[in-house]
Amino acid sequence: MHIMRIEDEIKQPVFKDEYQKGYINLIYTAGWLQQQQAAAFREFDLTLPQFNILRILRGQHPKPATVNLLIERMLDKTSNASRIVDKLEAKGLVTRTVCPSNRRAVDIRITEAALELLLRMDTEVLSKQHNLQTLTVEEAVQLNALLDKIRD
Amino acid sequence: MHIMRIEDEIKQPVFKDEYQKGYINLIYTAGWLQQQQAAAFREFDLTLPQFNILRILRGQHPKPATVNLLIERMLDKTSNASRIVDKLEAKGLVTRTVCPSNRRAVDIRITEAALELLLRMDTEVLSKQHNLQTLTVEEAVQLNALLDKIRD
DNA sequence: CGACATTAAATGTATGTACATATATTTGCA
DNA sequence: TGCAAATATATGTACATACATTTAATGTCG
């Protein structure tokens, strides 16, 4: 049993109560998970938000997505999908065309190159994604219930 | 019972398993909590990382802290404490002086103005910090145990 | 029809994150 | 002593976040 408690991770010996500890613990653990993932993406020259947008586009494929749809499905709704798409377009991973039926909107499509890239990444990334596998299924269910309740 | 499940929040109807759902849920909830806090800080012209550094400095007061000590205690250890201190110095909330006993290091001290600011913020911020209060104490304990286990 | 609000996306600006590199000081040891 | 390694911080660059503002297209209602 070599679990590292949050107290030790950030060298703060005492929390006011379990709520404050939970708050810090949640932020810290989420950041920790994201860094694990980001490291796996670096060798494919993708950042985490870029990867997430590509996954949404693959889910839509072969239908296009608009910027609005990307924002709706993104975890961080206030981030700037438009500029992340810029970077993906520059790498040839997505295309942008004005939507014919609504010229305010932009149809964004994933390219073949990006689909192949995702395919190569799938196995590699999945193997590293499962830090949560340290939990039993029951514990994972419990975690989801607690998190949903926090945002109530 | 109007708990909003993560499936609905990001409009993704199906997850592969409870682990994948837990991963997404954790990242999403942490971001949600941080935004709640950031909104409370905005009226005081502080960002969340700036506030966190001020709190660490208050904990040290009247002893100074070095950049190294700030990094040790920060939640995000790879971020750039030096530049956050820049911003705080520009606002007159901290002072920087070369450490006499080790001229490589910098003694960072919180100013009276910052101590007063934190005092004004304490009540305001605490009232908004406790989104986790939707949990019972037992649930908060459970959450902490699960999070520690994930990082094992 | 035409002014006005609404919607979709892009842009501007300040801040922070992530990582590599630079600069200065101190330490260790041949 | 002197020189390489280690330490403490700062700086450079690319990217993302947060929020306000702008631009263009569409809807609506008098």
CATH number reported for the structural domain that contains residue A125 in this entry: 1.10.10.10
B contacts of A135 (beta carbons < 8 Å): 19, 22, 146, 149-150
Q: End-to-end distance of chain A based on CA atoms, in angstroms?
A: 33
- The pLDDT score that the predictor gives to residue B130 is 66
Which alpha helices (H) appear in B61-99, and where do they start and end? Answer: 67-73, 81-90
Residue that is last in its domain, among B43, B59, B74: B43
Instruction: Please indicate, yes or no, whether residues B68 and B116 belong to a single structural domain of this protein.
Output: yes
Q: Which residues of chain B have pLDDT under 50?
A: none
User: How many domains are there within chain A?
Assistant: 1
Q: What are phi and psi of A96, to 5 degrees?
A: -125, 125
Tell me, yes or no, whether A1 lies in a domain: no
Token pair listed for B62? 């009247």
B68 touches strand D (CB under 7 A): yes
β-pairing, B94-98 vs A106-110, is unpaired
* Residue B11, domain extent: 1-43
- Sorted by sequence, the CB contacts under 8 Å of residue A77 that are 6+ apart come out as A71
Residues B32 and B64 in one domain: no
Q: Is B135 close to A32, i.e. CB distance below 8 A?
A: no
Per-10-residue mean pLDDT of chain A, 152 residues long, equals: 68 77 88 86 92 94 94 83 96 96 96 95 74 89 94 82
For chain A, state the CA radius of gyration: 19
Answer whether B151 sits within 8 Å of A32, measured CB to CB: yes
pTM of this structure? 0.86
Q: How confident is the model at residue B13, as a pLDDT?
A: 65
DSSP A86: H
Count of CB atoms within 10 A of residue A63's CB?
Answer: 10
